[in-house]
Amino acid sequence: MRETAYAKINLALHVRRRREDGYHELETLFAFVDQGDQLTAQAAGHDTQETVGEFGGALTDPFDNIVMRALGALPRPDGLAITLEKNLPVAAGLGGGSADAGAIFRMVERAHGLPGDWRERAAKLGADVPACVDSRACIGRGTGTELEPIDNDLAGMAVLLVNPRVPLSTAPVFKAWDGLDRGPMPSGSVRDIALGGRNDLEAPAIAQCPVIADVLAALLEANPLLARMSGSGATCFALFENDNAMRAAAERISTAQPGWWQMQGKLR
């Protein structure tokens, strides 16, 4: 079996309040790019994982391996030998680990089906994992696990992801949020919400990682439909009306900043 772990982006991310349990009450619009990590699986006597790819070396903690935890969360009659090609940067606001777990859930679903409580099992692995299992545009509330489907009128739009190759952990960015409720996420279509929304984590992320502002400025120079930081950063994205505009922006940014990571794709 082979699955793509589709890169997650937040077209809007509104932080409403801090909760007593230490988490934050969110309203977010999840969307997914048709590119990401690649996972292959073969039947085996027990579960194993091998990691390769550009960012494979960043996954060095055997006790924080979400692929193996996802496998352990799902009952199966036999094991799977997983090869993970890590193409997405780590700690980048793209839900890379959650996307990998989502791909595991889809593999197990194809082979054996999923238990009725799979959403609860996915949420225990991470707040983004339930959304990443389907990897389709949806609205997330609560900690991001209360999902509402939405038709994606931006599906097929060209998207450029850019990361300055600076990892940025989620917890410190949320901790640095100023606590101000700037209002709810707008309603309407995906386009309406994306254009009328915001990412409340941009300011605290830029304060810790100033180069994010440079990435956003470079994307905005290309006059996209929208440029915004994803999640807690440091990856930023831009949406373009056509592939040519996206490729031209990618080339300009690559020439000016050859050290920055890029990925080109389309919204699912």
Report whether pLDDT(90) > 80.
Answer: yes
If you write DSSP's letter for every residue of 48-112 in order, what string do you get?
EEEEESTTGGG---TTS-HHHHHHHTS--SSEEEEEEE--SPSSSSS-HHHHHHHHHHHHHHHHH
Look at the alpha carbons of 22, 149, 93, 101 in this order and tell me if their dihedral is positive or negative: positive
The per-residue pLDDT for range 188-236, each reduced to its tens digit, is: 999 999 999 999 999 999 999 999 999 999 999 999 999 999 999 999 9
Q: What pLDDT was estimated at residue 48? A: 95
Write the burial class of residue 75 (CB in 10 Å: 0-12 exposed, 13-18 middle, 19+ buried). exposed
Q: How confident is the model at residue 59 (pLDDT cuts 50, 70, 90)?
A: confident
The per-residue pLDDT for range 121-136, each reduced to its tens digit, is: 999 999 999 999 999 9
Q: How confident is the model at residue 154 (pLDDT cuts 50, 70, 90)?
A: very high
Q: Which amino acid is at 187?
A: S
Average pLDDT over residues 177-181: 96
Please give the structure tokens belonging to residue 266: 């389309």
Q: How confident is the model at residue 22 (pLDDT cuts 50, 70, 90)?
A: confident
Q: How confident is the model at residue 141 (pLDDT cuts 50, 70, 90)?
A: very high
Average pLDDT over residues 165-172: 95
Report whether pLDDT(16) > 90.
Answer: yes
Average pLDDT, the chain: 96
The per-residue pLDDT for range 23-44, each reduced to its tens digit, is: 999 999 999 999 999 999 999 9
CA distance linking residue 61 with residue 47, whole number of Å: 17
Q: What pLDDT was estimated at residue 61? A: 73
Residues assigned a catalytic role: 8, 128
Q: What pLDDT was estimated at residue 129? A: 97
Report whether pLDDT(138) > 80.
Answer: yes
Name the percent of the chain lying above pLDDT 90: 95
Domains and CATH numbers, the chain: 2-149 (3.30.230.10), 158-266 (3.30.70.890)
Q: What pLDDT was estimated at residue 63? A: 63
Tally of CB atoms within 10 A around 238: 27
Report whether pLDDT(62) > 90.
Answer: no
Q: What pLDDT was estimated at residue 94? A: 97
123-154: burial string, b at 16+ Cβ within 10 Å, e else: bebbbbbbbbbbbbbbbbbebbbebeebebeb
CA atoms lying within 13 Å on the CB side of residue 46: 0
Q: What pLDDT was estimated at residue 58? A: 85
